[in-house]
């Protein structure tokens, strides 16, 4: 492949695959350029791939019966994103995965990870650990939506996505936090006031 830049570093770091060996998995992934607002997955489709963001920003969201968006996840550079339920259980997806910016995305088929584990058996444990971390993050997110204040959720968002505030409109942040844009504006003003008083 012509370019394996970020994904090579990611696989070397996360799965401990030698950088020079990543090429052996390249037959099972494809670099795709997507434009802003282009979909990689839509509701009702079966998700067959995992997406690695080489450059740009994706988001995954659902629509409720009133057509309101609920953002589940953002995926900036060096993040993986997929509908795991649809991917692993061959079920129709309830989600959309859309480019927030013009992006370059590696499309990783199921065979990519199967091939990787076959050729590098030591990666199986790290792959399992990655899945467990994903489950932990989802549990923490559900708990945060149920129990945390809007301010606490906002601070957690900043910690998880430190550079995204400058890349997405405020309504998307509010959607991720489960609050209205007006509530988000109040939270930001209150935090600015607190920071001003303590500075």
Any domain includes 153:
no
Domain of 89, CATH number, reads 2.60.120.10
DSSP bridge pairs for 114: none
pLDDT band at 125 (very low <50, low <70, confident <90, very high): confident
Instruction: Please check whether residue 138 is in contact with residue 83, taking contact to mean a CB–CB distance below 8 angstroms.
Output: no
Residue with the bigger pLDDT between 199 and 45: it is: 45
Answer whether residue 151 is part of any domain.
Answer: no
Looking only at the bridges linking them, the beta strands covering 49-55 and 80-81 are antiparallel
Q: Report pLDDT for 2.
A: 45
Q: Domain for residue 178, yes or no? A: no
SS (H, E, C) 93-144: CCCEEEECCCEEEEEEEHHHHHHHHHHCCCHHHHHHHHHHHHHHHHHHHHHH
Q: Band of the pLDDT at 143, cuts 50, 70, 90?
A: very high
Quick check: is 134 in a domain? Answer: no
Strands (E), the chain: 29-34, 39-41, 49-55, 58-63, 69-75, 80-81, 96-99, 103-109
Residue 167 lies inside a defined structural domain of this protein = no
**Mean pLDDT, rounded, of the chain:** 88
Q: What is the mean pLDDT of residues 76-85?
A: 93
Residue 81 domain boundaries: 5-122
* CA–CA distance, 183 with 179 (Å, rounded to integer): 6
Quote the number of domains for the chain.
1
Does 150 map to a domain? no
pLDDT digits (tens, 9 = 90+) for 159-174: 999 999 999 999 999 9
Q: Compute the half-sphere exposure of residue 59: CA atoms within 13 Å on the CB side of its CA.
A: 19
Distance, CA of 122 to CA of 127 (rounded, Å): 9
Backbone angles phi, psi at 185, to 5 degrees: -60, -40
Residue 148: alpha-carbon gap to chain centroid: 22
Q: Indicate whether 77 belongs to any domain.
A: yes
Q: Which residues, at least 6 apart from 195, have a Cβ–Cβ distance to it below 8 Å?
A: none
Structure confidence at residue 158 (pLDDT): 94
64 SS3 class: coil
Residue 132 lies in a domain: no
pTM assigned to the model: 0.88
Closest CA to 75 of 51, 47, 44: 51
List, edge to edge, every strand of the sheet that includes 58-63.
39-41, 96-99, 58-63, 69-75
Proportion of the chain above pLDDT 90, given as a percent: 62
């Amino acid at each position: 492949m012509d370019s394996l830049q970020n994904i090579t570093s990611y696989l070397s770091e996360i799965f401990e695959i030698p950088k020079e060996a990543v090429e052996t998995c390249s037959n099972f992934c494809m670099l795709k350029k997507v434009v802003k607002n282009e979909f990689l997955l839509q509701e009702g489709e079966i998700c067959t791939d995992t997406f690695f963001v080489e450059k740009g920003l994706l988001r995954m969201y659902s629509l409720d019966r009133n057509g309101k968006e609920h953002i589940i996840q953002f995926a900036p550079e060096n993040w993986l994103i997929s509908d795991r339920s649809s991917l692993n259980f061959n079920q129709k997806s309830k989600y959309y995965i859309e480019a927030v910016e013009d992006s370059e995305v590696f499309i990783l088929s199921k065979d990519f990870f199967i091939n990787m584990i076959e050729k590098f058996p030591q990666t199986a444990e790290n792959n399992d650990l990655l899945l467990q971390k994903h489950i932990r993050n989802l549990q923490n997110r559900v708990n945060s939506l149920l129990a945390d204040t809007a301010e606490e959720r906002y601070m957690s968002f900043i910690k998880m996505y430190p550079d995204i505030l400058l890349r997405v409109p405020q309504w998307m942040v509010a959607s991720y936090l489960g609050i209205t844009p007006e509530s988000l504006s109040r939270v930001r003003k209150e935090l600015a006031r607190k920071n001003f008083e303590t500075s």
